[in-house]
Structure 1
Amino acid sequence: MKFKVNSYHFKLLRDYERLSAFKEAIDDYAKRMNDDGSNALDDSDKKIAFDLGCGSGVLSYFAQTYMDRIIAIELNNSAYQLAKENLKGFDRIQVYNDDILSFDFSKLNEKADLIICEMLDTALIDEEEVPVLNRAKEYLKEDGEIIPKGIINSAEPIFMNNHFIQYEDDEYSPVYIALGKSVVYSKFDFLDEIDPNFSAVIDLEVFGKKDLQEIGLEEKLLGERYEKFDFKENFNIREDKLKINGIKLTSFTKLNENIICGPTPMMNPEMLIPIEEIEVRSGDTIRIRLEYVMGGGVETINTEILDIIHD
Protein backbone atom coordinates (compact mmCIF):
# COMPACT_ATOMS: atom_id res chain seq x y z
CA MET A 1 0.00 0.00 0.00
CA LYS A 2 1.25 3.49 -0.86
CA PHE A 3 0.94 5.90 2.07
CA LYS A 4 0.47 9.65 1.82
CA VAL A 5 2.89 11.28 4.25
CA ASN A 6 4.46 14.60 5.15
CA SER A 7 8.24 15.02 5.39
CA TYR A 8 8.41 13.86 9.01
CA HIS A 9 6.31 10.74 8.47
CA PHE A 10 8.30 10.00 5.31
CA LYS A 11 11.35 9.64 7.57
CA LEU A 12 9.36 7.42 9.93
CA LEU A 13 8.35 5.12 7.08
CA ARG A 14 11.96 4.99 5.88
CA ASP A 15 13.04 3.65 9.26
CA TYR A 16 12.57 0.02 8.25
CA GLU A 17 14.04 -1.39 11.46
CA ARG A 18 11.44 0.47 13.51
CA LEU A 19 8.59 -0.57 11.22
CA SER A 20 9.64 -4.21 11.01
CA ALA A 21 9.94 -4.46 14.82
CA PHE A 22 6.38 -3.19 15.32
CA LYS A 23 4.97 -5.33 12.51
CA GLU A 24 6.66 -8.43 13.91
CA ALA A 25 5.21 -7.69 17.36
CA ILE A 26 1.70 -7.20 15.93
CA ASP A 27 1.98 -10.40 13.86
CA ASP A 28 3.20 -12.29 16.95
CA TYR A 29 0.27 -11.00 18.99
CA ALA A 30 -2.18 -12.29 16.36
CA LYS A 31 -0.56 -15.73 16.27
CA ARG A 32 -0.68 -16.06 20.05
CA MET A 33 -4.35 -15.07 20.12
CA ASN A 34 -5.28 -17.96 17.83
CA ASP A 35 -4.97 -21.49 19.13
CA ASP A 36 -4.09 -22.84 15.69
CA GLY A 37 -1.19 -20.40 15.29
CA SER A 38 -2.76 -18.76 12.25
CA ASN A 39 -3.11 -15.05 11.58
CA ALA A 40 -6.80 -15.24 10.67
CA LEU A 41 -9.45 -13.55 12.79
CA ASP A 42 -11.34 -15.88 15.11
CA ASP A 43 -15.02 -14.97 14.65
CA SER A 44 -15.86 -16.30 18.13
CA ASP A 45 -13.58 -13.78 19.80
CA LYS A 46 -13.91 -10.25 18.46
CA LYS A 47 -10.78 -8.17 18.94
CA ILE A 48 -10.58 -4.40 19.57
CA ALA A 49 -7.41 -2.30 19.31
CA PHE A 50 -6.55 1.30 20.18
CA ASP A 51 -3.79 2.94 18.13
CA LEU A 52 -2.79 5.93 20.23
CA GLY A 53 -0.89 8.69 18.47
CA CYS A 54 -1.48 6.90 15.17
CA GLY A 55 0.43 9.37 12.96
CA SER A 56 -0.12 8.55 9.30
CA GLY A 57 -1.81 5.27 10.25
CA VAL A 58 0.78 2.65 9.33
CA LEU A 59 0.50 0.65 12.57
CA SER A 60 -3.30 0.58 12.27
CA TYR A 61 -2.78 -0.71 8.74
CA PHE A 62 -0.55 -3.52 10.05
CA ALA A 63 -3.10 -4.43 12.73
CA GLN A 64 -6.31 -4.23 10.67
CA THR A 65 -5.84 -7.74 9.26
CA TYR A 66 -6.21 -9.19 12.74
CA MET A 67 -8.66 -6.90 14.54
CA ASP A 68 -12.42 -6.46 14.23
CA ARG A 69 -12.25 -2.80 15.19
CA ILE A 70 -9.44 -0.29 15.53
CA ILE A 71 -9.78 3.11 17.19
CA ALA A 72 -6.97 5.32 15.87
CA ILE A 73 -6.43 8.67 17.63
CA GLU A 74 -4.13 11.48 16.50
CA LEU A 75 -3.89 14.99 17.95
CA ASN A 76 -1.93 16.68 15.15
CA ASN A 77 -4.43 17.76 12.50
CA SER A 78 -2.01 17.35 9.60
CA ALA A 79 -1.17 13.78 10.61
CA TYR A 80 -4.86 13.06 11.28
CA GLN A 81 -5.76 14.12 7.74
CA LEU A 82 -3.08 11.77 6.38
CA ALA A 83 -4.31 8.86 8.50
CA LYS A 84 -7.92 9.51 7.52
CA GLU A 85 -6.97 9.45 3.83
CA ASN A 86 -4.65 6.45 4.11
CA LEU A 87 -7.14 4.34 6.06
CA LYS A 88 -10.40 5.37 4.39
CA GLY A 89 -10.72 2.01 2.60
CA PHE A 90 -10.76 0.03 5.87
CA ASP A 91 -14.18 -0.11 7.49
CA ARG A 92 -12.76 -1.64 10.65
CA ILE A 93 -10.73 1.50 11.43
CA GLN A 94 -12.16 4.71 12.92
CA VAL A 95 -9.82 7.71 13.00
CA TYR A 96 -10.29 10.50 15.55
CA ASN A 97 -8.63 13.92 15.68
CA ASP A 98 -8.40 14.34 19.44
CA ASP A 99 -6.15 14.61 22.48
CA ILE A 100 -5.83 11.16 24.06
CA LEU A 101 -5.47 12.71 27.53
CA SER A 102 -8.99 14.15 27.26
CA PHE A 103 -10.56 11.67 24.81
CA ASP A 104 -13.85 10.18 26.04
CA PHE A 105 -13.07 6.47 25.80
CA SER A 106 -16.36 5.62 27.55
CA LYS A 107 -18.31 6.61 24.42
CA LEU A 108 -16.79 3.61 22.61
CA ASN A 109 -18.80 1.26 24.85
CA GLU A 110 -16.05 -1.36 24.82
CA LYS A 111 -12.54 -1.92 26.07
CA ALA A 112 -9.45 -2.79 24.07
CA ASP A 113 -7.78 -6.17 23.75
CA LEU A 114 -4.67 -4.43 22.46
CA ILE A 115 -3.21 -0.93 22.79
CA ILE A 116 -0.58 0.14 20.27
CA CYS A 117 1.25 3.29 21.31
CA GLU A 118 4.47 4.41 19.65
CA MET A 119 4.72 7.77 21.40
CA LEU A 120 8.28 6.86 22.32
CA ASP A 121 11.33 8.96 23.02
CA THR A 122 14.68 8.23 24.64
CA ALA A 123 14.09 7.41 28.34
CA LEU A 124 10.41 8.39 27.75
CA ILE A 125 11.28 12.04 28.44
CA ASP A 126 10.05 14.07 25.47
CA GLU A 127 6.92 12.16 24.37
CA GLU A 128 3.74 11.42 26.32
CA GLU A 129 3.87 7.60 26.25
CA VAL A 130 3.62 7.31 30.04
CA PRO A 131 0.80 9.82 30.78
CA VAL A 132 -1.14 8.55 27.74
CA LEU A 133 -0.88 4.90 28.76
CA ASN A 134 -1.61 5.67 32.42
CA ARG A 135 -4.94 7.07 31.27
CA ALA A 136 -5.76 4.64 28.45
CA LYS A 137 -5.06 1.50 30.52
CA GLU A 138 -8.33 2.12 32.32
CA TYR A 139 -9.99 1.09 29.05
CA LEU A 140 -7.84 -2.00 28.44
CA LYS A 141 -9.35 -5.41 29.15
CA GLU A 142 -8.02 -7.27 32.19
CA ASP A 143 -6.08 -9.68 29.97
CA GLY A 144 -5.22 -7.01 27.39
CA GLU A 145 -1.76 -6.29 26.03
CA ILE A 146 0.25 -3.22 25.05
CA ILE A 147 2.69 -2.88 22.14
CA PRO A 148 5.37 -2.01 23.03
CA LYS A 149 5.38 -3.92 26.31
CA GLY A 150 8.00 -1.78 28.01
CA ILE A 151 11.37 -0.07 27.89
CA ILE A 152 14.87 -0.54 29.34
CA ASN A 153 17.13 2.48 29.92
CA SER A 154 20.90 2.56 30.36
CA ALA A 155 23.51 5.26 31.01
CA GLU A 156 27.28 5.63 30.57
CA PRO A 157 29.80 8.43 31.31
CA ILE A 158 31.15 10.45 28.38
CA PHE A 159 33.13 13.53 27.43
CA MET A 160 31.49 15.62 24.67
CA ASN A 161 32.43 18.72 22.74
CA ASN A 162 29.15 20.66 23.08
CA HIS A 163 27.73 21.17 26.55
CA PHE A 164 24.03 20.91 25.80
CA ILE A 165 21.47 18.14 25.35
CA GLN A 166 22.01 16.37 22.04
CA TYR A 167 20.55 13.39 20.19
CA GLU A 168 22.64 11.01 18.14
CA ASP A 169 20.52 10.33 15.06
CA ASP A 170 20.80 10.04 11.30
CA GLU A 171 20.82 13.83 10.85
CA TYR A 172 23.20 14.84 13.60
CA SER A 173 26.28 13.05 14.90
CA PRO A 174 27.58 14.74 18.05
CA VAL A 175 31.26 14.43 18.90
CA TYR A 176 31.87 12.55 22.15
CA ILE A 177 33.88 9.69 23.55
CA ALA A 178 32.53 7.00 25.89
CA LEU A 179 34.65 6.68 29.04
CA GLY A 180 32.81 4.05 31.03
CA LYS A 181 30.61 1.01 31.11
CA SER A 182 26.92 1.16 30.29
CA VAL A 183 24.63 0.41 33.24
CA VAL A 184 20.88 -0.26 33.22
CA TYR A 185 19.25 2.28 35.53
CA SER A 186 15.52 1.66 34.92
CA LYS A 187 13.07 -0.85 33.47
CA PHE A 188 9.37 -0.24 32.91
CA ASP A 189 6.46 -2.52 32.01
CA PHE A 190 3.72 -0.41 30.42
CA LEU A 191 0.99 -2.55 32.00
CA ASP A 192 2.11 -1.15 35.36
CA GLU A 193 1.08 2.26 36.67
CA ILE A 194 4.17 4.45 36.17
CA ASP A 195 4.99 7.62 38.09
CA PRO A 196 6.10 10.16 35.45
CA ASN A 197 8.29 11.93 38.03
CA PHE A 198 11.46 9.88 37.66
CA SER A 199 14.47 9.99 39.98
CA ALA A 200 17.35 7.56 40.34
CA VAL A 201 20.83 7.41 41.83
CA ILE A 202 23.18 5.82 39.30
CA ASP A 203 26.71 4.54 39.83
CA LEU A 204 28.71 5.02 36.62
CA GLU A 205 32.03 3.19 36.47
CA VAL A 206 34.86 4.85 34.54
CA PHE A 207 36.93 2.51 32.38
CA GLY A 208 39.97 0.98 34.09
CA LYS A 209 43.46 1.28 32.63
CA LYS A 210 43.14 -2.05 30.82
CA ASP A 211 39.84 -0.95 29.27
CA LEU A 212 41.38 2.34 28.10
CA GLN A 213 44.22 0.44 26.46
CA GLU A 214 41.80 -1.93 24.73
CA ILE A 215 39.74 0.91 23.24
CA GLY A 216 42.95 2.77 22.32
CA LEU A 217 41.88 6.03 23.96
CA GLU A 218 45.17 7.82 23.41
CA GLU A 219 45.24 6.89 19.72
CA LYS A 220 41.58 7.82 19.30
CA LEU A 221 42.16 11.30 20.65
CA LEU A 222 44.71 11.89 17.90
CA GLY A 223 42.15 11.08 15.22
CA GLU A 224 40.77 13.82 13.00
CA ARG A 225 37.30 13.64 14.58
CA TYR A 226 38.63 14.47 18.06
CA GLU A 227 41.70 16.48 17.14
CA LYS A 228 39.47 19.07 15.46
CA PHE A 229 37.89 19.83 18.84
CA ASP A 230 41.12 19.59 20.91
CA PHE A 231 39.82 16.62 22.89
CA LYS A 232 43.37 15.62 23.87
CA GLU A 233 43.75 18.88 25.83
CA ASN A 234 41.18 17.56 28.32
CA PHE A 235 43.03 14.33 29.17
CA ASN A 236 46.37 13.47 30.71
CA ILE A 237 46.43 9.73 30.23
CA ARG A 238 49.96 9.23 31.52
CA GLU A 239 49.08 10.87 34.83
CA ASP A 240 45.72 9.05 34.84
CA LYS A 241 43.59 12.20 34.68
CA LEU A 242 40.37 12.03 32.71
CA LYS A 243 37.46 14.42 32.40
CA ILE A 244 33.75 13.58 32.37
CA ASN A 245 31.17 16.20 31.39
CA GLY A 246 28.15 14.20 30.30
CA ILE A 247 26.19 10.97 30.30
CA LYS A 248 24.73 9.08 27.35
CA LEU A 249 21.28 7.55 27.71
CA THR A 250 20.33 4.57 25.55
CA SER A 251 16.82 3.08 25.46
CA PHE A 252 15.86 -0.43 24.37
CA THR A 253 12.22 -0.94 23.41
CA LYS A 254 10.65 -4.19 24.56
CA LEU A 255 7.99 -4.88 21.91
CA ASN A 256 6.95 -8.12 23.61
CA GLU A 257 8.56 -10.91 25.63
CA ASN A 258 10.64 -12.03 22.64
CA ILE A 259 11.40 -8.83 20.68
CA ILE A 260 13.69 -6.06 21.92
CA CYS A 261 14.70 -3.24 19.58
CA GLY A 262 17.61 -0.90 20.22
CA PRO A 263 17.80 2.70 19.01
CA THR A 264 16.86 3.28 15.37
CA PRO A 265 17.12 6.52 13.35
CA MET A 266 13.55 7.54 14.24
CA MET A 267 12.97 5.68 17.51
CA ASN A 268 14.81 6.49 20.72
CA PRO A 269 18.14 7.78 19.36
CA GLU A 270 20.84 7.97 22.03
CA MET A 271 20.68 11.16 24.11
CA LEU A 272 23.70 13.04 25.46
CA ILE A 273 23.08 15.00 28.67
CA PRO A 274 25.62 17.48 30.11
CA ILE A 275 26.70 17.21 33.74
CA GLU A 276 29.07 19.28 35.83
CA GLU A 277 32.58 18.75 34.41
CA ILE A 278 34.72 16.69 36.78
CA GLU A 279 38.19 15.18 36.77
CA VAL A 280 38.41 11.47 37.55
CA ARG A 281 40.86 8.60 37.38
CA SER A 282 40.50 5.28 35.58
CA GLY A 283 38.43 2.86 37.64
CA ASP A 284 36.61 5.58 39.58
CA THR A 285 32.83 5.42 40.09
CA ILE A 286 30.70 8.53 39.66
CA ARG A 287 27.53 8.55 41.73
CA ILE A 288 24.96 10.78 40.08
CA ARG A 289 21.33 11.65 40.61
CA LEU A 290 19.27 11.80 37.41
CA GLU A 291 15.78 13.28 37.45
CA TYR A 292 13.19 14.13 34.81
CA VAL A 293 9.47 14.07 34.12
CA MET A 294 8.42 11.43 31.60
CA GLY A 295 6.39 13.25 28.99
CA GLY A 296 7.46 16.59 30.45
CA GLY A 297 10.21 17.38 27.94
CA VAL A 298 13.98 17.73 28.08
CA GLU A 299 13.69 20.95 30.09
CA THR A 300 12.72 18.80 33.10
CA ILE A 301 16.07 16.96 33.12
CA ASN A 302 18.20 17.60 36.20
CA THR A 303 21.53 16.03 37.17
CA GLU A 304 23.58 16.20 40.35
CA ILE A 305 26.94 14.61 41.09
CA LEU A 306 26.70 13.07 44.55
CA ASP A 307 30.11 11.46 44.94
CA ILE A 308 33.27 10.26 43.21
CA ILE A 309 34.33 6.87 44.58
CA HIS A 310 38.00 6.04 43.98
CA ASP A 311 38.98 2.53 43.01
Structure 2
Amino acid sequence: MESEKNLKLKMESPQWHYSMLVDEERVSVFHEAIIDTVKKDDLVFDLGTGSGVLAMFAAKSAKKVYAIELDPITAYYTDKNIKGNGFENIKLVEADASEYSFKDKNGNPEKADVIIAEMLDTALITEPQVPVLNEIHKKGLLKDEGTLIPESVYNTAQVVDCRTNHIYYDEEVISKPVSDEKLYSRINFYKINDPKVSYNIEFTLLNDCNNAGLRLNTYTKLKDGLIAGATPMLNPPLIVPLNKPLKKGTYTFKISYIMGGDFENVKLSLE
Protein backbone atom coordinates (compact mmCIF):
# COMPACT_ATOMS: atom_id res chain seq x y z
CA MET A 1 0.00 0.00 0.00
CA GLU A 2 1.03 3.66 -0.13
CA SER A 3 0.91 6.11 2.75
CA GLU A 4 -0.75 9.47 2.38
CA LYS A 5 0.80 12.94 2.70
CA ASN A 6 2.95 12.80 -0.43
CA LEU A 7 5.50 10.26 0.81
CA LYS A 8 4.12 7.36 -1.24
CA LEU A 9 6.00 4.60 0.56
CA LYS A 10 5.79 0.98 -0.50
CA MET A 11 4.83 -0.86 2.67
CA GLU A 12 4.42 -4.45 3.81
CA SER A 13 3.39 -5.54 7.28
CA PRO A 14 1.94 -8.39 9.33
CA GLN A 15 -1.83 -8.27 9.62
CA TRP A 16 -1.89 -6.62 13.05
CA HIS A 17 0.12 -3.66 11.71
CA TYR A 18 -1.81 -3.36 8.46
CA SER A 19 -4.79 -1.87 10.31
CA MET A 20 -2.54 0.85 11.73
CA LEU A 21 -1.12 1.65 8.32
CA VAL A 22 -4.55 2.13 6.77
CA ASP A 23 -5.75 4.31 9.66
CA GLU A 24 -5.25 7.51 7.66
CA GLU A 25 -6.03 9.87 10.53
CA ARG A 26 -3.47 8.20 12.82
CA VAL A 27 -0.75 8.14 10.14
CA SER A 28 -1.45 11.71 9.04
CA VAL A 29 -1.31 13.29 12.49
CA PHE A 30 2.03 11.65 13.27
CA HIS A 31 3.33 12.62 9.85
CA GLU A 32 2.43 16.26 10.50
CA ALA A 33 4.14 16.27 13.90
CA ILE A 34 7.29 14.58 12.57
CA ILE A 35 7.82 16.74 9.49
CA ASP A 36 7.22 19.90 11.55
CA THR A 37 9.74 18.81 14.18
CA VAL A 38 12.63 16.84 12.67
CA LYS A 39 15.40 18.99 11.22
CA LYS A 40 18.47 18.40 9.09
CA ASP A 41 21.28 16.66 11.00
CA ASP A 42 18.91 15.50 13.79
CA LEU A 43 19.47 12.13 15.43
CA VAL A 44 16.09 10.42 15.91
CA PHE A 45 15.08 7.37 17.96
CA ASP A 46 11.83 5.68 16.87
CA LEU A 47 10.87 3.40 19.75
CA GLY A 48 8.56 0.51 18.89
CA THR A 49 8.87 1.30 15.18
CA GLY A 50 6.44 -1.37 13.96
CA SER A 51 6.23 -1.20 10.17
CA GLY A 52 8.84 1.59 10.19
CA VAL A 53 6.55 4.18 8.65
CA LEU A 54 7.22 6.84 11.33
CA ALA A 55 10.97 6.22 11.13
CA MET A 56 10.79 6.79 7.38
CA PHE A 57 8.85 10.03 7.86
CA ALA A 58 11.69 11.21 10.13
CA ALA A 59 14.43 9.94 7.83
CA LYS A 60 13.31 12.33 5.10
CA SER A 61 14.97 15.10 7.12
CA ALA A 62 17.09 13.49 9.82
CA LYS A 63 20.76 12.66 9.61
CA LYS A 64 20.15 9.24 11.20
CA VAL A 65 17.21 7.32 12.64
CA TYR A 66 17.34 4.37 14.98
CA ALA A 67 14.24 2.20 14.41
CA ILE A 68 13.80 -0.10 17.42
CA GLU A 69 11.45 -3.10 17.21
CA LEU A 70 11.18 -5.95 19.72
CA ASP A 71 9.04 -8.39 17.71
CA PRO A 72 11.13 -10.40 15.19
CA ILE A 73 8.23 -11.02 12.78
CA THR A 74 7.45 -7.32 12.61
CA ALA A 75 11.15 -6.48 12.29
CA TYR A 76 11.37 -8.76 9.24
CA TYR A 77 8.80 -6.60 7.44
CA THR A 78 10.35 -3.39 8.76
CA ASP A 79 13.67 -4.35 7.23
CA LYS A 80 11.98 -5.00 3.87
CA ASN A 81 10.19 -1.64 4.04
CA ILE A 82 13.33 0.33 4.85
CA LYS A 83 15.37 -1.31 2.10
CA GLY A 84 12.51 -1.32 -0.39
CA ASN A 85 12.07 2.43 -0.02
CA GLY A 86 15.78 3.13 -0.32
CA PHE A 87 16.47 4.61 3.12
CA GLU A 88 20.14 4.36 4.01
CA ASN A 89 20.03 6.58 7.09
CA ILE A 90 17.80 4.24 9.15
CA LYS A 91 19.40 1.68 11.45
CA LEU A 92 16.91 -1.09 12.30
CA VAL A 93 17.55 -2.72 15.67
CA GLU A 94 15.67 -5.78 16.90
CA ALA A 95 15.70 -5.13 20.64
CA ASP A 96 13.76 -3.97 23.68
CA ALA A 97 13.82 -0.16 23.48
CA SER A 98 14.08 0.10 27.27
CA GLU A 99 17.30 -1.94 27.31
CA TYR A 100 19.13 -0.98 24.11
CA SER A 101 22.37 1.02 24.37
CA PHE A 102 22.51 3.71 21.69
CA LYS A 103 26.15 4.08 20.59
CA ASP A 104 27.87 5.44 17.50
CA LYS A 105 30.32 3.45 15.37
CA ASN A 106 33.12 4.35 17.78
CA GLY A 107 31.22 3.04 20.78
CA ASN A 108 30.35 6.46 22.18
CA PRO A 109 26.90 6.93 23.77
CA GLU A 110 24.40 8.80 21.59
CA LYS A 111 21.58 11.09 22.64
CA ALA A 112 18.55 11.90 20.51
CA ASP A 113 17.41 15.26 19.22
CA VAL A 114 13.95 13.75 18.70
CA ILE A 115 12.36 10.63 20.16
CA ILE A 116 9.24 9.19 18.54
CA ALA A 117 7.34 6.75 20.77
CA GLU A 118 4.03 5.43 19.50
CA MET A 119 3.50 2.67 22.03
CA LEU A 120 0.11 4.04 22.94
CA ASP A 121 -3.15 2.54 24.11
CA THR A 122 -6.18 3.99 25.83
CA ALA A 123 -5.13 5.30 29.27
CA LEU A 124 -1.67 3.82 28.49
CA ILE A 125 -2.79 0.56 30.09
CA THR A 126 -1.66 -2.25 27.77
CA GLU A 127 1.29 -0.70 25.90
CA PRO A 128 4.77 0.02 27.39
CA GLN A 129 4.91 3.75 26.60
CA VAL A 130 5.50 4.83 30.19
CA PRO A 131 7.93 2.07 31.29
CA VAL A 132 10.05 2.50 28.14
CA LEU A 133 10.20 6.30 28.35
CA ASN A 134 10.99 6.08 32.06
CA GLU A 135 14.10 4.07 31.17
CA ILE A 136 15.00 6.51 28.40
CA HIS A 137 14.92 9.38 30.92
CA LYS A 138 16.86 7.45 33.57
CA LYS A 139 19.63 6.86 31.01
CA GLY A 140 19.55 10.48 29.84
CA LEU A 141 19.08 9.52 26.19
CA LEU A 142 17.18 12.66 25.16
CA LYS A 143 19.21 15.82 24.70
CA ASP A 144 18.45 18.71 27.08
CA GLU A 145 16.67 20.60 24.31
CA GLY A 146 15.34 17.43 22.68
CA THR A 147 11.76 16.78 21.62
CA LEU A 148 9.36 13.92 22.31
CA ILE A 149 6.58 12.92 19.89
CA PRO A 150 4.02 12.69 21.40
CA GLU A 151 4.70 14.88 24.41
CA SER A 152 1.72 13.99 26.62
CA VAL A 153 -1.74 12.48 26.84
CA TYR A 154 -4.94 13.61 28.52
CA ASN A 155 -7.22 10.94 30.00
CA THR A 156 -10.94 11.43 30.57
CA ALA A 157 -13.72 9.30 32.01
CA GLN A 158 -17.49 9.23 31.63
CA VAL A 159 -20.06 6.98 33.24
CA VAL A 160 -21.91 4.81 30.72
CA ASP A 161 -24.44 1.98 30.73
CA CYS A 162 -22.21 -0.96 29.79
CA ARG A 163 -23.18 -3.55 27.21
CA THR A 164 -21.19 -6.44 28.72
CA ASN A 165 -19.63 -7.44 32.04
CA HIS A 166 -16.02 -7.36 30.86
CA ILE A 167 -13.62 -4.68 29.62
CA TYR A 168 -14.10 -3.86 25.95
CA TYR A 169 -13.28 -1.26 23.33
CA ASP A 170 -16.24 0.87 22.33
CA GLU A 171 -15.03 1.80 18.84
CA GLU A 172 -18.50 2.73 17.65
CA VAL A 173 -19.18 4.75 20.84
CA ILE A 174 -22.57 3.16 21.34
CA SER A 175 -22.52 2.57 25.10
CA LYS A 176 -25.05 5.08 26.45
CA PRO A 177 -23.53 7.93 28.53
CA VAL A 178 -25.22 8.84 31.83
CA SER A 179 -22.81 11.56 33.02
CA ASP A 180 -20.56 14.33 31.74
CA GLU A 181 -17.02 13.53 30.55
CA LYS A 182 -14.32 14.52 33.06
CA LEU A 183 -10.57 14.97 32.73
CA TYR A 184 -8.89 12.82 35.39
CA SER A 185 -5.19 12.79 34.46
CA ARG A 186 -2.47 14.23 32.24
CA ILE A 187 0.64 12.14 31.63
CA ASN A 188 3.67 14.24 30.64
CA PHE A 189 6.19 12.09 28.77
CA TYR A 190 9.03 14.51 29.53
CA LYS A 191 8.88 13.30 33.15
CA ILE A 192 9.38 9.95 34.83
CA ASN A 193 5.90 8.67 35.65
CA ASP A 194 4.90 6.11 38.28
CA PRO A 195 3.21 3.31 36.27
CA LYS A 196 0.90 2.51 39.21
CA VAL A 197 -1.95 5.01 39.31
CA SER A 198 -5.19 5.43 41.20
CA TYR A 199 -7.86 8.10 40.83
CA ASN A 200 -11.08 9.06 42.63
CA ILE A 201 -13.53 10.73 40.25
CA GLU A 202 -16.92 12.13 41.28
CA PHE A 203 -19.78 11.91 38.80
CA THR A 204 -23.43 12.93 38.88
CA LEU A 205 -25.52 10.34 37.03
CA LEU A 206 -28.29 11.98 35.02
CA ASN A 207 -30.23 8.73 34.61
CA ASP A 208 -30.54 5.27 36.16
CA CYS A 209 -28.39 2.60 34.49
CA ASN A 210 -28.49 -1.19 34.48
CA ASN A 211 -24.73 -1.80 34.45
CA ALA A 212 -22.65 1.24 35.33
CA GLY A 213 -19.06 1.61 34.21
CA LEU A 214 -16.52 4.09 32.91
CA ARG A 215 -15.70 4.95 29.32
CA LEU A 216 -12.03 5.99 29.23
CA ASN A 217 -10.87 8.32 26.46
CA THR A 218 -7.31 9.39 25.69
CA TYR A 219 -6.34 12.52 23.76
CA THR A 220 -2.77 12.65 22.47
CA LYS A 221 -0.81 15.91 22.36
CA LEU A 222 1.84 15.36 19.70
CA LYS A 223 3.15 18.93 19.80
CA ASP A 224 1.88 22.42 20.57
CA GLY A 225 -1.31 22.98 18.61
CA LEU A 226 -1.68 19.35 17.53
CA ILE A 227 -3.90 17.08 19.62
CA ALA A 228 -5.34 13.81 18.29
CA GLY A 229 -8.54 12.24 19.50
CA ALA A 230 -9.38 8.57 19.14
CA THR A 231 -9.00 6.88 15.76
CA PRO A 232 -9.73 3.22 14.92
CA MET A 233 -6.12 2.26 15.80
CA LEU A 234 -5.14 5.06 18.18
CA ASN A 235 -6.67 4.97 21.66
CA PRO A 236 -10.23 3.82 20.88
CA PRO A 237 -12.66 4.39 23.81
CA LEU A 238 -12.28 1.73 26.51
CA ILE A 239 -15.17 0.56 28.71
CA VAL A 240 -14.49 -0.67 32.25
CA PRO A 241 -17.68 -2.13 33.80
CA LEU A 242 -18.56 -1.78 37.47
CA ASN A 243 -20.99 -4.69 37.09
CA LYS A 244 -23.79 -3.22 39.18
CA PRO A 245 -26.83 -1.01 38.52
CA LEU A 246 -26.88 2.54 39.83
CA LYS A 247 -29.67 5.01 40.42
CA LYS A 248 -29.60 8.61 39.35
CA GLY A 249 -27.38 10.59 41.76
CA THR A 250 -23.80 11.46 42.71
CA TYR A 251 -21.10 8.81 43.17
CA THR A 252 -17.31 8.66 43.52
CA PHE A 253 -15.64 6.05 41.34
CA LYS A 254 -12.18 4.74 42.17
CA ILE A 255 -10.16 3.40 39.24
CA SER A 256 -6.63 2.02 39.47
CA TYR A 257 -4.32 0.32 36.99
CA ILE A 258 -0.70 -0.14 35.96
CA MET A 259 0.43 1.70 32.85
CA GLY A 260 2.21 -0.82 30.66
CA GLY A 261 0.44 -3.71 32.37
CA ASP A 262 -2.70 -5.48 31.19
CA PHE A 263 -6.45 -5.43 31.69
CA GLU A 264 -6.18 -7.86 34.61
CA ASN A 265 -4.77 -5.09 36.80
CA VAL A 266 -7.60 -2.61 36.11
CA LYS A 267 -9.78 -2.20 39.21
CA LEU A 268 -13.00 -0.17 39.42
CA SER A 269 -15.06 0.37 42.58
CA LEU A 270 -17.24 2.91 44.39
CA GLU A 271 -15.83 4.93 47.27
Q: TM-score, normalised by structure 1?
A: 0.79
Query: What is the deviation of 1:286?
Result: 1.6
Q: Does 1:126 align with 2:93?
A: no
- 1:247 counterpart residue number: 214
Residue ranges of structure 2 left out of the alignment (5+ in a row) = 1-8
Aligned mate of 1:287, from 237, 247, 252: 252
Equivalent of residue 259 in structure 1, options 226, 244, 251: 226
**How many angstroms apart in 1 are the aligned matches of 2:209 and 2:269?**
19
Aligned ranges 1:1-311 → 2 under 5 Å = 1-30=9-38, 41=40, 46-88=41-83, 89-106=86-103, 109-137=109-137, 138-169=140-171, 173=172, 176-207=175-206, 241-281=208-248, 284-306=249-271
The structural deviation recorded for 1:113 is 0.4
- The answer (yes or no) to whether the contact 1:56–1:80 under 8 Å persists in 2 is yes
Separation in 1 of the partners of 2:141 and 2:67?
Answer: 14
1:64 offset after TM fit, Å? Answer: 0.5
User: Aligned partners of 2:42, 2:54: CA distance in 1, in Å?
Assistant: 16
Alpha-carbon offset, residue 161 of structure 1 = 2.2
AA partner of residue 132 (structure 2): V
CA distance in 1, matches of 2:108, 2:179: 50
Structure 2: distance between partners of 1:18 and 1:110? 29
Q: Partner amino acid for 2:246?
A: E
Deviation per CA, 1:233-252, whole angstroms, max 9, x where unpaired?
A: xxxxxxxx444521100110
CA deviation profile, 1:201-243 (whole Å, cap 9, x unmatched): 1112222xxxx7xxxxxxxxxxxxxxxxxxxxxxxxxxxx444
Cα distance in 2, alignment partners of residues 300 and 291 from structure 1: 8
Q: In the alignment, is the contact (CA less than 8 A) between 2:215 and 2:237 conserved in 1?
A: yes
Shift of 1:66: 1.3
Q: Higher Cα Rg: structure 1 or 2? A: 1
Which structure: greater helix fraction?
1
Q: Read off the aligned partner of 2:136 and give its amino acid letter.
A: A
Deviation at 1:28, TM superposition (A): 1.5
> How big is the shift at 1:101?
2.2
CA–CA distance in 1 between the matches of 2:209 and 2:146? 50
Q: Is the 8 A contact 1:199 1:290 kept in 2?
A: yes
The question of whether the paired residues in 2 share the 8 Å contact of 1:276 and 1:305 is answered with: no
CA contact (8 A) 2:101 2:109 kept: no
Identical-residue share of aligned pairs (%): 35
Secondary structure, counterpart of 2:25 in structure 1: helix
SS of the residue corresponding to residue 142 of structure 1 reads strand
Distance 1:287 1:15 in 2: 36
Aligned residues: 256
For 2:170 and 2:163, locate their aligned partners in 1 and report how far apart those are by CA, in whole Å: 13
SS in 2 for 1:105: coil
Unmatched tracts of structure 1, length 5 or more: 34-40, 213-240, 307-311
Deviation at 1:104, TM superposition (A): 2.0
**CA RMSD after TM alignment:** 1.6
* Aligned equivalents of 1:77, 1:157: Cα separation in 2: 40
Structure 1 CA distance for aligned equivalents of residues 183 and 217 of structure 2: 9
